[in-house]
Amino acid sequence: MGPSFLLRSAASLLLAAGPLLAAGPGTRIAVKNPLDLPRARETVAVPSGTAPGLSAGELAKVAVIDEATGKPVPSQAVDSDGDGTHDLLVFQADFGPGETRSFVLKPGGRAPYRREDFRVYGRFARERYDDFLWENDEVAHRMYGPALETWQAEPLTSSTVDVWCKKTSRLVVNDWLMVDDYHRDTGEGADFYSAGKSRGAGGSGVWKDGRLFVARNFRHSKVLAAGPIRLVFELTYEAWDAGGSKVSEVKRVTLDAGSRFNRFESSYTVDGGGAVAHAAGLKKAAGAVLRVEKAAGTIRSWEPVKGDNGNLGLALVVDPASLADVVEADGNVLAVGKPSAARPAVHWSGSVWDRSGRVKTAEEWDRAIAEFVERLRSPLKVETIAP
Protein backbone atom coordinates (compact mmCIF):
# COMPACT_ATOMS: atom_id res chain seq x y z
CA MET A 1 0.00 0.00 0.00
CA GLY A 2 1.23 3.50 -0.71
CA PRO A 3 1.23 6.14 -3.42
CA SER A 4 2.15 4.91 -6.91
CA PHE A 5 1.65 6.66 -10.20
CA LEU A 6 0.59 5.39 -13.63
CA LEU A 7 2.50 7.11 -16.43
CA ARG A 8 1.87 6.25 -20.05
CA SER A 9 1.07 7.90 -23.37
CA ALA A 10 -2.63 8.32 -24.07
CA ALA A 11 -2.82 9.24 -27.74
CA SER A 12 -6.56 8.75 -27.85
CA LEU A 13 -7.19 11.28 -25.08
CA LEU A 14 -7.53 14.80 -26.51
CA LEU A 15 -8.34 17.74 -24.27
CA ALA A 16 -8.86 21.39 -25.17
CA ALA A 17 -5.79 23.62 -24.80
CA GLY A 18 -5.82 26.30 -22.10
CA PRO A 19 -5.20 30.00 -22.77
CA LEU A 20 -1.53 29.93 -21.69
CA LEU A 21 -0.43 27.14 -24.03
CA ALA A 22 0.50 29.61 -26.75
CA ALA A 23 3.33 30.88 -24.58
CA GLY A 24 5.52 27.87 -25.42
CA PRO A 25 5.82 24.09 -25.48
CA GLY A 26 4.82 21.94 -22.57
CA THR A 27 3.86 18.46 -21.48
CA ARG A 28 0.14 17.85 -21.00
CA ILE A 29 -0.96 15.43 -18.30
CA ALA A 30 -4.32 14.07 -17.21
CA VAL A 31 -4.82 13.34 -13.50
CA LYS A 32 -7.73 11.10 -12.50
CA ASN A 33 -9.29 10.52 -9.11
CA PRO A 34 -10.37 6.83 -9.20
CA LEU A 35 -12.43 7.13 -6.02
CA ASP A 36 -16.11 7.97 -5.65
CA LEU A 37 -15.25 10.62 -3.05
CA PRO A 38 -13.80 14.12 -3.23
CA ARG A 39 -10.10 14.72 -2.61
CA ALA A 40 -9.21 18.22 -1.43
CA ARG A 41 -5.66 19.54 -1.78
CA GLU A 42 -4.38 16.21 -3.02
CA THR A 43 -0.70 16.00 -3.98
CA VAL A 44 0.09 15.06 -7.57
CA ALA A 45 3.60 13.67 -8.16
CA VAL A 46 5.19 13.48 -11.61
CA PRO A 47 8.58 11.71 -11.91
CA SER A 48 11.47 13.41 -13.66
CA GLY A 49 12.07 12.24 -17.23
CA THR A 50 8.35 11.86 -17.91
CA ALA A 51 8.79 13.95 -21.06
CA PRO A 52 11.35 16.24 -22.73
CA GLY A 53 12.00 19.28 -20.58
CA LEU A 54 11.26 17.33 -17.39
CA SER A 55 14.77 16.07 -16.68
CA ALA A 56 16.10 16.11 -13.12
CA GLY A 57 18.18 19.19 -13.86
CA GLU A 58 15.24 21.14 -15.26
CA LEU A 59 12.50 20.09 -12.85
CA ALA A 60 12.98 22.98 -10.40
CA LYS A 61 12.01 25.52 -13.07
CA VAL A 62 8.95 23.72 -14.44
CA ALA A 63 5.68 25.64 -14.15
CA VAL A 64 2.35 23.84 -13.74
CA ILE A 65 -0.65 25.36 -15.51
CA ASP A 66 -4.27 24.38 -14.83
CA GLU A 67 -5.50 23.73 -18.38
CA ALA A 68 -9.10 24.64 -17.54
CA THR A 69 -8.28 28.11 -16.20
CA GLY A 70 -4.90 28.84 -17.74
CA LYS A 71 -3.62 29.85 -14.30
CA PRO A 72 -0.37 28.66 -12.69
CA VAL A 73 -0.49 26.15 -9.84
CA PRO A 74 2.25 26.25 -7.15
CA SER A 75 4.72 23.40 -7.66
CA GLN A 76 7.93 22.03 -6.20
CA ALA A 77 10.80 19.87 -7.42
CA VAL A 78 11.66 17.21 -4.82
CA ASP A 79 14.78 15.18 -4.18
CA SER A 80 13.07 12.26 -2.41
CA ASP A 81 16.15 10.17 -1.66
CA GLY A 82 18.84 12.75 -0.95
CA ASP A 83 21.08 11.84 -3.88
CA GLY A 84 21.39 15.48 -4.96
CA THR A 85 19.07 15.29 -7.97
CA HIS A 86 15.36 16.05 -8.24
CA ASP A 87 13.21 13.02 -8.97
CA LEU A 88 9.66 14.35 -8.55
CA LEU A 89 7.60 17.38 -9.47
CA VAL A 90 4.76 17.84 -6.98
CA PHE A 91 1.75 20.14 -6.92
CA GLN A 92 -1.71 20.08 -5.35
CA ALA A 93 -5.24 20.24 -6.69
CA ASP A 94 -8.84 19.50 -5.67
CA PHE A 95 -10.66 16.59 -7.31
CA GLY A 96 -14.34 15.70 -7.31
CA PRO A 97 -15.51 12.06 -7.18
CA GLY A 98 -14.12 10.28 -10.25
CA GLU A 99 -12.93 13.58 -11.72
CA THR A 100 -10.13 13.90 -14.28
CA ARG A 101 -8.28 17.21 -14.51
CA SER A 102 -5.63 18.25 -17.01
CA PHE A 103 -2.50 20.32 -16.52
CA VAL A 104 0.36 21.63 -18.64
CA LEU A 105 3.96 21.33 -17.42
CA LYS A 106 6.03 24.13 -18.94
CA PRO A 107 9.86 24.08 -18.68
CA GLY A 108 11.48 27.27 -17.43
CA GLY A 109 8.25 28.99 -16.48
CA ARG A 110 8.00 28.74 -12.70
CA ALA A 111 7.91 32.02 -10.81
CA PRO A 112 10.19 32.48 -7.76
CA TYR A 113 8.72 31.39 -4.45
CA ARG A 114 7.29 33.91 -2.03
CA ARG A 115 7.24 33.48 1.72
CA GLU A 116 3.45 33.13 1.69
CA ASP A 117 3.70 30.15 -0.70
CA PHE A 118 5.19 27.95 2.01
CA ARG A 119 2.78 25.64 3.84
CA VAL A 120 5.37 23.21 5.22
CA TYR A 121 8.50 23.88 7.24
CA GLY A 122 11.05 21.96 9.30
CA ARG A 123 14.45 22.53 10.83
CA PHE A 124 17.06 21.49 13.34
CA ALA A 125 16.63 23.74 16.39
CA ARG A 126 19.90 24.24 18.24
CA GLU A 127 18.14 26.57 20.67
CA ARG A 128 15.63 23.82 21.53
CA TYR A 129 18.31 21.35 22.72
CA ASP A 130 19.03 20.03 19.21
CA ASP A 131 15.43 18.94 18.57
CA PHE A 132 14.02 18.70 15.06
CA LEU A 133 10.72 20.52 14.61
CA TRP A 134 8.40 20.43 11.63
CA GLU A 135 4.91 21.51 10.66
CA ASN A 136 2.45 22.27 7.93
CA ASP A 137 -0.77 24.27 7.90
CA GLU A 138 -2.57 21.58 9.94
CA VAL A 139 -0.13 19.93 12.40
CA ALA A 140 3.19 20.47 14.18
CA HIS A 141 5.65 17.94 15.64
CA ARG A 142 8.97 17.56 17.40
CA MET A 143 11.58 14.81 17.76
CA TYR A 144 14.35 14.88 20.31
CA GLY A 145 18.00 15.67 19.58
CA PRO A 146 21.26 14.87 21.40
CA ALA A 147 21.48 17.93 23.68
CA LEU A 148 18.14 17.06 25.33
CA GLU A 149 19.69 13.93 26.81
CA THR A 150 21.97 16.03 29.05
CA TRP A 151 19.78 19.10 29.67
CA GLN A 152 20.20 19.87 33.37
CA ALA A 153 16.63 21.05 33.89
CA GLU A 154 14.79 18.08 32.38
CA PRO A 155 16.97 15.51 30.58
CA LEU A 156 15.06 13.22 28.25
CA THR A 157 16.19 10.27 26.18
CA SER A 158 13.55 9.08 23.73
CA SER A 159 12.98 8.48 20.01
CA THR A 160 9.33 9.43 20.42
CA VAL A 161 7.21 11.68 18.19
CA ASP A 162 5.84 14.75 19.99
CA VAL A 163 2.80 16.82 18.97
CA TRP A 164 2.15 20.54 19.19
CA CYS A 165 -1.54 21.43 19.27
CA LYS A 166 -2.18 24.23 16.78
CA LYS A 167 -5.41 25.85 15.64
CA THR A 168 -4.04 28.13 12.97
CA SER A 169 -2.96 27.46 9.39
CA ARG A 170 -0.01 29.80 9.96
CA LEU A 171 3.47 28.31 10.30
CA VAL A 172 4.30 28.87 13.96
CA VAL A 173 7.47 26.94 14.83
CA ASN A 174 9.89 29.85 14.57
CA ASP A 175 7.63 32.34 16.33
CA TRP A 176 6.79 29.98 19.19
CA LEU A 177 10.45 29.21 19.75
CA MET A 178 11.36 32.89 19.60
CA VAL A 179 9.08 33.93 22.46
CA ASP A 180 9.71 30.68 24.39
CA ASP A 181 6.18 30.71 25.79
CA TYR A 182 4.51 27.90 23.89
CA HIS A 183 3.17 25.83 26.78
CA ARG A 184 0.14 28.09 27.13
CA ASP A 185 -2.42 28.93 24.48
CA THR A 186 -2.27 32.59 23.51
CA GLY A 187 -4.63 32.14 20.57
CA GLU A 188 -2.88 29.78 18.17
CA GLY A 189 -2.46 26.66 20.32
CA ALA A 190 0.36 25.32 22.48
CA ASP A 191 2.62 22.40 23.34
CA PHE A 192 0.16 20.53 25.57
CA TYR A 193 1.07 16.94 24.67
CA SER A 194 3.58 14.98 26.74
CA ALA A 195 5.20 12.17 24.75
CA GLY A 196 7.96 11.46 27.26
CA LYS A 197 9.59 8.07 26.79
CA SER A 198 6.54 6.58 25.11
CA ARG A 199 6.13 6.22 21.33
CA GLY A 200 3.98 9.35 21.42
CA ALA A 201 2.28 10.00 18.10
CA GLY A 202 3.88 7.41 15.85
CA GLY A 203 7.31 6.68 17.28
CA SER A 204 8.83 3.30 16.49
CA GLY A 205 11.39 0.69 17.48
CA VAL A 206 12.37 -2.92 17.00
CA TRP A 207 10.22 -5.78 18.32
CA LYS A 208 12.04 -8.93 19.40
CA ASP A 209 11.11 -11.80 21.69
CA GLY A 210 8.01 -10.00 22.95
CA ARG A 211 9.84 -6.78 23.84
CA LEU A 212 10.23 -3.32 22.34
CA PHE A 213 13.76 -2.00 21.86
CA VAL A 214 14.08 1.70 21.02
CA ALA A 215 16.84 4.08 19.98
CA ARG A 216 18.20 7.03 21.90
CA ASN A 217 17.71 10.56 20.57
CA PHE A 218 18.69 11.13 16.94
CA ARG A 219 22.29 12.19 16.27
CA HIS A 220 22.12 13.77 12.81
CA SER A 221 19.44 15.46 10.72
CA LYS A 222 19.22 16.44 7.07
CA VAL A 223 16.48 18.24 5.14
CA LEU A 224 16.01 16.74 1.66
CA ALA A 225 13.04 18.85 0.51
CA ALA A 226 12.14 22.13 2.22
CA GLY A 227 8.76 23.04 0.70
CA PRO A 228 6.69 24.95 -0.13
CA ILE A 229 4.47 21.87 -0.69
CA ARG A 230 6.41 18.85 0.53
CA LEU A 231 8.86 18.53 3.40
CA VAL A 232 11.24 15.56 3.48
CA PHE A 233 13.92 15.10 6.13
CA GLU A 234 16.05 12.33 7.60
CA LEU A 235 17.08 11.58 11.17
CA THR A 236 19.96 9.21 11.93
CA TYR A 237 19.92 7.04 15.06
CA GLU A 238 23.14 5.44 16.26
CA ALA A 239 23.27 1.70 16.94
CA TRP A 240 21.41 0.41 19.97
CA ASP A 241 20.97 -3.02 21.50
CA ALA A 242 17.84 -4.77 20.26
CA GLY A 243 17.74 -8.01 22.17
CA GLY A 244 21.34 -8.98 21.45
CA SER A 245 21.60 -7.39 18.00
CA LYS A 246 23.09 -3.99 17.28
CA VAL A 247 20.66 -2.01 15.13
CA SER A 248 20.98 1.48 13.64
CA GLU A 249 18.34 3.45 11.75
CA VAL A 250 17.84 6.20 9.23
CA LYS A 251 14.29 7.54 9.52
CA ARG A 252 12.90 9.51 6.57
CA VAL A 253 9.83 11.66 7.27
CA THR A 254 7.56 13.18 4.62
CA LEU A 255 4.78 15.70 5.24
CA ASP A 256 2.70 17.43 2.56
CA ALA A 257 0.82 20.69 2.88
CA GLY A 258 -2.79 20.19 3.95
CA SER A 259 -2.22 16.69 5.35
CA ARG A 260 -2.61 15.55 8.94
CA PHE A 261 -0.52 12.45 8.26
CA ASN A 262 3.26 12.04 8.23
CA ARG A 263 4.89 9.22 6.31
CA PHE A 264 7.70 7.53 8.26
CA GLU A 265 10.17 5.26 6.47
CA SER A 266 12.71 3.41 8.63
CA SER A 267 15.80 1.85 7.07
CA TYR A 268 17.52 -0.45 9.56
CA THR A 269 21.07 -1.77 9.52
CA VAL A 270 21.79 -4.84 11.63
CA ASP A 271 25.38 -5.63 12.56
CA GLY A 272 26.13 -8.96 10.93
CA GLY A 273 22.96 -8.80 8.85
CA GLY A 274 19.51 -10.18 9.52
CA ALA A 275 15.88 -9.10 9.63
CA VAL A 276 14.07 -6.91 12.16
CA ALA A 277 10.42 -6.52 13.07
CA HIS A 278 9.45 -2.84 12.96
CA ALA A 279 6.98 -1.75 15.64
CA ALA A 280 5.29 1.65 15.57
CA GLY A 281 2.67 2.92 17.93
CA LEU A 282 0.78 5.44 19.98
CA LYS A 283 1.08 6.34 23.64
CA LYS A 284 -1.76 4.87 25.69
CA ALA A 285 -2.64 7.99 27.64
CA ALA A 286 -4.83 8.15 30.73
CA GLY A 287 -8.46 8.49 29.70
CA ALA A 288 -7.73 7.68 26.06
CA VAL A 289 -10.39 5.91 24.01
CA LEU A 290 -8.66 3.49 21.64
CA ARG A 291 -9.92 1.83 18.49
CA VAL A 292 -7.98 -0.86 16.63
CA GLU A 293 -8.92 -2.02 13.13
CA LYS A 294 -6.47 -4.75 12.17
CA ALA A 295 -8.07 -5.36 8.78
CA ALA A 296 -7.52 -1.73 7.86
CA GLY A 297 -4.15 -1.49 9.59
CA THR A 298 -5.21 1.39 11.85
CA ILE A 299 -4.94 2.35 15.51
CA ARG A 300 -6.82 5.40 16.76
CA SER A 301 -6.62 7.28 20.06
CA TRP A 302 -8.94 10.04 21.31
CA GLU A 303 -7.69 11.49 24.58
CA PRO A 304 -8.22 14.51 26.84
CA VAL A 305 -5.62 17.26 26.66
CA LYS A 306 -4.21 18.31 30.01
CA GLY A 307 -5.53 21.46 31.62
CA ASP A 308 -9.05 21.09 30.25
CA ASN A 309 -7.85 21.97 26.75
CA GLY A 310 -10.13 19.78 24.68
CA ASN A 311 -9.22 16.48 23.08
CA LEU A 312 -6.40 15.21 20.90
CA GLY A 313 -6.91 12.57 18.25
CA LEU A 314 -3.97 10.41 17.17
CA ALA A 315 -3.79 7.76 14.48
CA LEU A 316 -1.34 5.16 13.23
CA VAL A 317 -1.69 3.54 9.80
CA VAL A 318 0.23 0.57 8.42
CA ASP A 319 -0.13 -1.74 5.46
CA PRO A 320 -2.33 -4.61 6.70
CA ALA A 321 -0.30 -7.02 4.56
CA SER A 322 2.80 -6.27 6.63
CA LEU A 323 1.03 -6.34 10.01
CA ALA A 324 1.88 -9.26 12.28
CA ASP A 325 0.06 -8.19 15.45
CA VAL A 326 -1.22 -5.32 17.58
CA VAL A 327 0.09 -5.43 21.15
CA GLU A 328 0.40 -3.28 24.26
CA ALA A 329 3.86 -2.71 25.70
CA ASP A 330 5.60 -0.06 27.83
CA GLY A 331 2.55 2.19 27.88
CA ASN A 332 1.99 2.02 24.13
CA VAL A 333 -0.32 0.35 21.64
CA LEU A 334 1.93 -1.02 18.91
CA ALA A 335 1.48 -2.26 15.36
CA VAL A 336 4.14 -4.94 15.00
CA GLY A 337 5.30 -5.69 11.49
CA LYS A 338 6.51 -8.91 9.97
CA PRO A 339 10.32 -9.26 10.11
CA SER A 340 12.05 -8.02 6.97
CA ALA A 341 15.60 -7.31 5.85
CA ALA A 342 14.81 -6.47 2.24
CA ARG A 343 12.95 -3.18 2.39
CA PRO A 344 12.39 -0.11 4.57
CA ALA A 345 9.53 -0.24 7.06
CA VAL A 346 6.78 2.31 6.42
CA HIS A 347 3.99 3.66 8.58
CA TRP A 348 1.91 6.83 8.76
CA SER A 349 0.83 8.81 11.80
CA GLY A 350 -1.66 11.63 12.10
CA SER A 351 -3.09 13.98 14.70
CA VAL A 352 -5.91 16.46 15.23
CA TRP A 353 -6.85 18.81 18.06
CA ASP A 354 -10.59 19.36 18.43
CA ARG A 355 -9.98 23.01 19.41
CA SER A 356 -8.76 23.60 15.84
CA GLY A 357 -12.40 23.30 14.78
CA ARG A 358 -11.68 20.99 11.83
CA VAL A 359 -12.37 17.60 13.43
CA LYS A 360 -14.48 17.87 16.56
CA THR A 361 -15.34 14.31 17.64
CA ALA A 362 -13.83 10.83 17.71
CA GLU A 363 -16.38 9.74 15.12
CA GLU A 364 -15.29 12.50 12.74
CA TRP A 365 -11.67 11.48 13.34
CA ASP A 366 -12.54 7.87 12.48
CA ARG A 367 -14.05 9.02 9.19
CA ALA A 368 -10.98 11.13 8.39
CA ILE A 369 -8.70 8.15 9.06
CA ALA A 370 -10.83 5.84 6.92
CA GLU A 371 -10.77 8.32 4.03
CA PHE A 372 -7.00 8.67 4.33
CA VAL A 373 -6.58 4.90 4.12
CA GLU A 374 -8.86 4.77 1.08
CA ARG A 375 -6.79 7.45 -0.66
CA LEU A 376 -3.59 5.53 0.07
CA ARG A 377 -5.04 2.42 -1.52
CA SER A 378 -6.34 4.27 -4.56
CA PRO A 379 -3.73 6.89 -5.53
CA LEU A 380 -4.30 9.45 -8.25
CA LYS A 381 -3.58 8.20 -11.76
CA VAL A 382 -1.33 10.39 -13.88
CA GLU A 383 -1.08 10.02 -17.64
CA THR A 384 0.82 11.98 -20.23
CA ILE A 385 -1.28 13.15 -23.14
CA ALA A 386 0.11 12.75 -26.63
CA PRO A 387 0.51 16.05 -28.51
DSSP code per residue over 335-360: EEEPPBSSS-EEEEEEEEEGGGSS--
**How do residues 209-238 score in pLDDT, each as one tens digit?**
999 999 999 999 999 999 999 999 999 999
Euclidean distance between CA atoms 351 and 139, whole angstroms: 7
Residue 308 pLDDT: 93
Residue 340 pLDDT: 87
Cβ pair 7, 381 in contact under 8 A: no
Residue 51 pLDDT: 79
Residue 125 pLDDT: 96
**How do residues 251-307 score in pLDDT, each as one tens digit?**
999 999 999 999 999 999 999 988 999 999 999 999 999 999 999 999 999 999 999
pTM of the full structure? 0.92
Cβ pair 336, 321 in contact under 8 A: no
Q: Which of 345, 306, 310 is nearest to 324 (CA)?
A: 345
Residue 2 pLDDT: 42
Strand-strand pairing, 345-353 and 311-317: antiparallel
Residue 17 pLDDT: 31
Half-sphere exposure of 305 (CA within 13 A, CB side): 25
Q: Does domain 21-112+378-385 have CATH number 1.10.1740.10?
A: no
Cα distances (Å, whole numbers) of residue 91 to 72, 95, 293 = 11, 13, 32
**How do residues 182-212 score in pLDDT, each as one tens digit?**
999 999 999 999 999 999 999 999 999 999 9
Q: Domain boundaries in the chain?
A: 21-112+378-385, 120-356
Residue 24 pLDDT: 52
Q: Which of 181, 184, 190, 186 is nearest to 162 (CA)?
A: 190
* CATH number for region 120-356: 2.70.98
Euclidean distance between CA atoms 237 and 246, whole angstroms: 12
Residue 205 pLDDT: 98
